[in-house]
Amino acid sequence: MAKAIPKISSRRNGRISSRKGARRIPKGVIHVQASFNNTIVTVTDVRGRVVSWSSAGTSGFKGTRRGTPFAAQTAAANAIRTVVDQGMQRAEVMIKGPGLERDAAL
């Protein structure tokens, strides 16, 4: 069998820098999509680029517990915690959907 040809990277030092902590976002928009089964919270900047997101499912809730107001509150806290560390001070809230979790996420 032939030997595998090693891949040559275009990067010289092989390290990739992360700029997740570099952005400063003073103002943003919090989108809450509430359904009867799940709640998705997305935080964007003013131009609409997603900065952070979370849902009741990614917060650790499974099955019918994803549709509870407490799961929506936990998802909102997880999404907002990361953008507060990046310097967000003001936010506009957009709520969509029929679920009971809308008030808890707000």
Domain 27-105 CATH (choose: 3.30.420.80, 3.40.50.740, 3.40.50.360, 3.40.50.1820):
3.30.420.80
Structure tokens, 70:
């407490």
Q: Provide the residue ranges of all domains of the chain, joining segments of one domain with +.
A: 27-105
Burial 50-81 (b: 16+ CB within 10 A, else e): ebbbbbbbebebeeeebbbbebbbbbbebbbe
Q: pLDDT by residue (tens digit) across 56-101?
A: 988 899 998 988 999 999 999 999 998 888 889 999 999 999 877 8
H/E stretch holding 79 reads helix 69-85
pLDDT digits (tens, 9 = 90+) for 32-49: 999 989 899 999 999 999
Helix, coil or strand: residue 6: coil
What pTM did the predictor assign? 0.74
Task: Give yes or no for residue 10 having a pLDDT over 70.
Answer: no
Task: List beta partners, residue 31.
Answer: 42, 94
